[in-house]
Amino acid sequence: MAADPATLPRRRLLGGLGAAGALGAAAVLGGLGACAQAGVPTTATADSPPPANLSGRGASARTTAPTTTRSATRPTDTDAATPAPSPAPADTPAPAEAPADTLPWPDPQPLGDGLWLWPGSGGEADARNGGRTAHAAFIVGPDGVLVIDSGSAWRHGQALLQAVRRTTDRPLRGLWLSQARQEFVFGAAALQDAGVPVLMGRRAARLMAARCEGCLRALRREAGPWWMAGTRVVRPDRLLDDEPGQQASTGLPDIGRPLRLLRLGHASAPGDLVLHDPASGWLLAGGVVEHRRIPDIQDADLAGWQTALQDLLRRSESGGGGGGGSDIGTERIRAIVPAHGPPGPAAPMLRAQQDYLSALDARARALARDGVALSAVADAATLAGQADWDQVDTIHRRNASILLLRHERALLRE
């Protein structure tokens, strides 16, 4: 089908920008700013105060952030394609005391069978939560503990470390960072400083090294000096294989219970990995699955993401899986810890996300064929089924702009 001649000049301009330029155009023209493309929110205020205590119960305990930054460590499994991030700049001196009108630290919530949730706040990153919007978790085995994701600041990682140590006296064997997103990675420095090895998939580590220094600079300005004191981009101590079909071991530390990394390929981001705990049936999904929150498509391969979600859905219903390009396996997935939103039964969560991605894609394709202006697409792409989801006014609008540009480029090739 030929593109509408009336819309060709605009399409040719945007189509010639390339992938990075088109994504930047989507963010800027959508009114969200370039920082949104790096995963940094644009609505946080720099003068909001950080949290007052660690316990969530009014205790006076505080995390003491380091006053100097520590050099990023080199992975034991080296990867020449993964550049070392530059040293973090010296921190602005942090206030000695945190104001008291911010969010308290959460207590770990037991999900059963040694799996604990350290819940995120949800919503947008701001100076009340320091960007700790997403969940972290930890799994306690007979021989140790594996932590999954770490929050958005050194203080988050330190508070998470203390929460684990209040829960169990078993040794921390490792921290796995599921994706290169600010709400997952910036607390890792505190655990690495405490001697906990940091693990990450190869492609996620490359993405973190390529862009997270920029995210961190913006987050320092927006969250304020108390929150971000001591925060830096780490270099993982161990890189994990993330290609579907590889027969290598998981690379995860041995905590005395079986854990399975599922390699999904390029779904929500390049080299997606999720973690299945067969003993409990829970899947720790990182950014691959959201619950009642708009999923962010900026790094996604939409077809690959739908394939991965369908494979996970098959395993949630019958224990079968492994179709498409993913490496799913056969153990049944009963429930999911998403990146944001309440954990719960797997199948309804997966179907809801599939429905959103399908509806968004169909709507953006139709708008592209109708020649709708990029400046109007966010309002024109409203979807009734997700009107009450978290971030519908921010991430959904950016998603619609990104997909419109993708479909316009596809029309030019027809």
> What local confidence, expressed as pLDDT, does residue 339 receive?
98
Q: How far apart are CA 113 and CA 96, in angstroms?
A: 39
> What local confidence, expressed as pLDDT, does residue 327 receive?
53
> What local confidence, expressed as pLDDT, does residue 277 receive?
95
CA distances to 47, 308, 318, 336, 383 from 332, rounded to whole Å, are 47, 15, 7, 11, 32
How far from the centroid of its chain's Cα atoms is residue 72's Cα?
Answer: 21
Sheet holding 144-148, edge to edge: 109-112, 115-118, 136-141, 144-148, 172-177, 198-201, 238-240
Counting as low any pLDDT under 50, the low residues of the chain are 1-62, 67-91, 99, 247-248, 324-325
Q: Which fold has domain 8-38+259-414?
A: Metallo-beta-lactamase; Chain A (3.60.15)
Q: Which of 352, 355, 348, 353 is nearest to 333 (CA)?
A: 348
Q: What is the pTM of this model?
A: 0.80
The total number of residues written for the chain in this structure: 414
> What local confidence, expressed as pLDDT, does residue 219 receive?
86
Burial of residue 407 (number of CB atoms within 10 Å: 0-12, 13-18, 19+): middle
233 within 8 A of 39, measured Cβ to Cβ: no
CA distances to 16, 56, 127, 137, 383 from 34, rounded to whole Å, are 19, 34, 20, 30, 24
Q: Do domains 8-38+259-414 and 45-257 have the same CATH topology?
A: yes
> What local confidence, expressed as pLDDT, does residue 321 receive?
52
Domain formed by 45-257, architecture: 4-Layer Sandwich (3.60)
Q: Where are the domains of the chain?
A: 8-38+259-414, 45-257
| Structural element, H or E, at residue 148 | strand 144-148
pLDDT tens sequence across 388-397: 999 999 999 9
pLDDT tens sequence across 126-141: 888 888 999 999 999 9
288 within 8 A of 272, measured Cβ to Cβ: yes
198-201 and 282-284: which strand pairing? Answer: unpaired
Q: Which of 182, 232, 220 is nearest to 37 (CA)?
A: 182
